[in-house]
Amino acid sequence: MLTKVLNNIREFCSLQPPKGASKNHWKGGFTLVELMVVIIIVNLLSGVAIPKLTDFIEKTKQKMDLLKLYYLRDAVNRALYEGDVHNMQEGKHGKDCDTISVSNLNKWLTDQKGVSYFIMELNESMPTSYQGTHGTMKNHNMCGLMYSAGFWNTALKDAGFGAIADIVADRDEHKNYKTYKPTTYTAVENTADPGKGYYRTYPNTPIFKSRFMTYDGAAKGKDNTRIAMKMIWTNLDSNSHSLEVFLGGQHDTYRKALLSRQGVCFSTMGMAGCKESIAR
């Protein structure tokens, strides 16, 4: 009996038709082994293909986000032809921003760390918040020039960052969001600090689309990863009359712009802006 069972198993595993079975009938279907082999192959292929497809989609979104930096750079440089940054009115002191002089602005634009245009706060579960400044990122910040009109405000709007221009101006005036209802952006109380009057402000229409620019799994609860939209004079030369834009942390230089795991460098200087960057 045991010998007969073993012979049957041997015949099955050899993919040969059982004794007495019609060959045509046997070839009309798939054996369990064949099905298992196909399933294993499909799983192996999907294990490789799906992550690559996901990475491809994410990288495409990142490149679209990178274009926004070029739009901003071009808008600012167009504005330079209409108004000289060296002769602009000094920034007035608001409730949120420090007063800034044009001489300081020019000095910061020739510094390797650049000057911050606005701040982004990435979080694990809350929408990306935008603001002009933050207590931990006040150095080299042009928030004092970002009121409801003027050179820098207009350039932001021309580049498609109008909601952020409104956010910076309104937060500097400390709008009471319990009564004031903005039209271009949303202001919601920070659920991580209820009752303290902290708000997250973000455009009604998202500026950036990629996961890299809208989510940070390392920033949990109250924590945020803060990124600054920064600018420098091209080649750090104030006589160039041309600006470059890059994204980075408070202490990051123009050579250490944000670099994604997919290899996208968030700088209008191309990969030269990520010579010292570590992908995240």
Q: Per residue in 94-119, pLDDT tens?
A: 666 777 777 788 888 999 999 998 99
The larger pLDDT score, comparing residue 44 to residue 160, is at 160
Residue 185's pLDDT is what? 96
Residue 144's pLDDT is what? 74
The larger pLDDT score, comparing residue 140 to residue 50, is at 140
Structure tokens at 210: 């990629």
Please, are residues 123 and 224 in contact by the beta-carbon 8 Å criterion? yes
Q: Per residue in 37-73, pLDDT tens?
A: 777 777 766 666 667 778 889 999 999 999 999 999 9
| E runs forming strands in the chain | 115-122, 129-131, 185-189, 199-203, 225-233, 243-248
- CA distances, 271 to each of 73, 196, 229, 265, 275 (Å): 16, 42, 17, 6, 7
Residue 253's pLDDT is what? 94
- CA distances, 249 to each of 98, 120, 206 (Å): 19, 10, 21
Residue 204's pLDDT is what? 95
Q: In the predicted model, is pLDDT for residue 135 greater than 80? A: no
Sign of CA dihedral 57, 157, 127, 185: negative
pLDDT band at 132 (very low <50, low <70, confident <90, very high): confident
Residue 193's φ and ψ, nearest 5 degrees, are: -135, 65
Q: In the predicted model, is pLDDT for residue 170 greater than 60? A: yes
pLDDT band at 278 (very low <50, low <70, confident <90, very high): very high
- Helix/strand/coil for 243: strand
Task: Provide the whole-model pTM.
Answer: 0.78
Q: Per residue in 186-242, pLDDT tens?
A: 999 877 667 677 889 999 999 999 999 987 765 555 578 889 999 999 999 988 888
